[in-house]
C-alpha cells in the first residue's frame, strides 16, 4: 500500500488511480476526442515554457494568496467541474468540495455530477460554484439555476463548448454507463477493484443527482440517456447568455473560450471571468492547447474581464506558467480526479498541497514573492505562443 506521504507529484496519483478505478471510469477521465492530439498538447505545451532562474533576491516572505472573481483564495487554483466525479470515488463530489473548502480554493460542481447540488450544500459550509450546460429545456435550466441559488452557490460557470458532443473513442469502446452495466467484461474488471466496489456499495449516490428525478420524464438511468442526447442545445447564442445572466443575477463565469473574437463577445456580456478551455481536449481534436491560446485571448480583452485557463495543469509550475502569460486563475480537472480516485478526500488535499508547494518554490526561484507580481519576465521566451 502506497503511503500518502510518499506521493510527490500528480503523476503518482494518476498511476494509483488507474489501478483503483474501474476501467471505463478511469478512461472517461484520462482520454480525449478522436486522436487525442489536443488532449496531449494541453499538457506537453506547458513544458515548452522555460523559466528564468534568479538569485540574490530576498524571497524570505512569500504569498500565494489571490482572488478569483472577487473571492479570496489560498492560491489562484480552483477545482474544475468534472462529470461522473462520484464514479471515480464514492461520494466524490462531496469529498472534493470538503477538501477544497478546507484548503481555501473554489470547488465547481458539474451539472453532470453524481452528487446533487443539495448534497454538496448539506456537507459544506463555504459557498461553492455550479457549472451549467445550456440545454433545450429552458424550464429545467431555470430550475437548476434556482436550485443553485437556494444552495447559496457564489458563482455560475456556464460551459459554452458542448453544443454537440465530441467523439471520445474510449467511452464508445467501453460502453460507458452509470452505474456500469452488468456485462461479463465489466464484472471481471470490478472484481479487481474491491475498495471501489465497497465504497460504492455504501453510498446511495450512483446516478446523475442533478437530473434524475428533476428533469421531465427522467426517472432512471435508461430514460436519462435518451434525455441527455437530445438536450445539449446546438442553437446556443449570446442571447442565451444574456438570459442566463439575468436569471442568475450573481457572479457569472463563461467556460470554453478558445478564440480572441469570442473572448471579446464574452467580455461584452458583462460576465465576471472567462475560462480559456478546450474541454480538456475532449471536444474539438486538432484545436490548439489552452496554454498556447491564452496569450491571444489576454491581449484581446485587456483588463475588461478576468481571464482564467484550464487544460493540462498538472503542477504548480504549470500554474506559474499560466500566470506568467496573463491568467488570473487556473482550474484543475484531471489532477483532481486522479487524486480523488487514488485516495479520496485525503488525496485531493494532498494534491492541492503539492501544487501549492510547487508554485511557491518555483515562484521563489524566479525571484518573485507574490503571485500578483508574476508576469512574462519570469519566462525566457515570453512570446513563444504569440
Q: Which residues are annotated as a binding site for glyoxylate?
A: 28, 133, 168, 279, 282
- Yes or no: say if 132 and 144 are a contact pair by the CB < 8 Å rule: yes
Binding residues for FMN: 81-83, 110, 131, 159, 255, 277, 310-314, 333-334
Q: Return the residue matching grid coordinates 498538472.
A: 314
DSSP letter for each residue of 118-161: HHHHHH-SS--EEEEE-BS-HHHHHHHHHHHHHTT-SEEEEE-S
Catalytic status, residue 279: yes
Task: Return phi, psi of residue 379, to 5°.
Answer: -105, 145
Residue/partner pairs of 99-103 with CB below 8 Å, 24 or more apart: 99/345, 99/346, 99/348, 99/349, 99/352, 100/128, 100/348, 100/352, 101/125, 101/126, 101/128, 102/349, 103/74, 103/349, 103/352, 103/353
- Residue 179 grid cell: 452505474
- Yes or no: say if 280 and 39 are a contact pair by the CB < 8 Å rule: yes
Please state, in angstroms and rounded to a whole number, the distance separating the CA atoms of residues 68 and 155.
Answer: 11
Select which of 123, 214, 279, 296 is catalytic: 279
Please state, in angstroms and rounded to a whole number, the distance separating the CA atoms of residues 88 and 16.
Answer: 12
DSSP letter for each residue of 13-27: HHHHHHHHS-HHHHH
Binding residues: 28, 81-83, 110, 131, 133, 159, 168, 255, 277, 279, 282, 310-314, 333-334
| Residues in contact with 177: Cβ distance below 8 Å, sequence separation at least 6, in sequence order | 24, 221, 225
User: Interior CA angle at 166 toward 83 and 135, to 5°?
Assistant: 60
Please state, in angstroms and rounded to a whole number, the distance separating the CA atoms of residues 77 and 335.
Answer: 12
Which residues are bridge partners to 159 per DSSP?
Answer: 133, 255
**Residues with a known catalytic role:** 279
Amino acid at each position: 500500500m502506497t503511503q500518502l506521504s510518499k506521493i510527490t507529484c500528480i503523476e503518482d496519483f494518476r498511476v494509483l488511480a488507474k489501478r483503483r478505478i474501474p476501467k471505463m471510469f478511469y478512461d472517461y477521465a484520462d482520454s480525449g476526442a478522436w486522436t487525442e492530439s489536443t488532449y496531449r498538447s494541453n499538457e506537453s505545451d506547458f513544458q515548452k515554457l522555460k523559466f528564468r532562474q534568479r538569485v540574490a533576491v530576498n524571497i524570505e516572505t512569500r504569498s500565494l494568496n489571490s482572488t478569483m472573481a472577487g473571492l479570496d483564495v489560498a492560491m489562484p487554483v480552483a477545482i474544475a467541474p468534472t462529470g461522473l466525479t462520484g464514479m471515480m470515488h464514492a461520494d466524490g463530489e462531496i469529498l472534493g468540495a470538503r477538501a477544497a473548502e478546507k484548503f481555501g480554493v473554489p470547488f465547481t460542481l458539474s451539472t453532470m455530477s453524481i452528487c446533487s447540488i443539495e448534497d454538496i450544500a448539506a456537507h459544506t459550509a463555504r459557498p461553492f460554484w455550479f457549472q451549467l450546460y445550456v440545454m433545450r429545456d429552458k424550464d429545467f435550466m431555470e430550475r437548476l439555476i434556482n436550485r443553485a441559488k437556494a444552495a447559496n452557490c457564489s458563482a455560475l460557470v456556464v460551459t459554452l463548448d458542448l453544443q454537440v458532443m465530441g467523439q471520445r473513442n474510449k467511452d464508445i469502446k467501453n460502453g460507458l454507463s452509470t452505474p456500469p452495466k452488468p456485462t461479463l467484461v465489466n464484472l471481471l474488471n470490478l472484481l479487481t477493484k474491491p475498495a471501489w466496489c465497497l465504497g460504492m456499495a455504501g453510498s446511495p449516490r450512483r446516478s446523475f443527482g442533478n437530473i434524475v428525478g428533476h428533469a421531465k420524464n427522467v426517472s432512471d438511468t435508461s430514460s436519462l440517456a435518451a434525455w441527455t442526447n437530445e438536450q445539449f442545445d446546438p442553437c446556443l447564442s449570446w442571447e442565451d447568455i444574456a438570459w442566463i445572466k439575468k436569471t442568475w443575477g450573481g457572479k457569472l463565469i463563461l467556460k470554453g473560450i478558445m478564440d480572441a473574437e469570442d473572448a471579446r463577445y464574452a467580455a461584452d456580456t458583462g460576465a465576471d471571468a472567462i475560462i480559456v478551455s478546450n474541454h480538456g481536449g475532449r471536444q474539438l481534436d486538432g484545436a490548439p492547447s489552452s496554454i498556447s491560446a491564452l496569450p491571444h485571448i489576454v491581449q484581446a480583452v485587456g483588463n475588461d474581464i478576468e481571464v482564467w485557463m484550464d487544460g493540462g495543469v498538472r503542477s504548480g509550475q504549470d500554474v506559474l506558467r499560466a500566470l506568467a502569460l496573463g491568467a488570473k486563475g487556473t482550474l484543475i480537472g484531471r489532477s483532481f480526479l486522479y487524486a480523488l480516485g487514488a485516495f479520496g478526500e485525503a488525496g485531493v488535499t494532498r494534491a492541492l498541497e503539492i501544487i501549492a508547494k510547487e508554485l511557491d518554490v518555483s515562484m521563489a526561484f524566479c525571484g518573485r514573492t507574490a503571485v500578483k507580481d508574476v508576469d512574462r519576465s519570469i519566462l525566457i521566451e515570453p512570446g513563444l505562443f504569440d
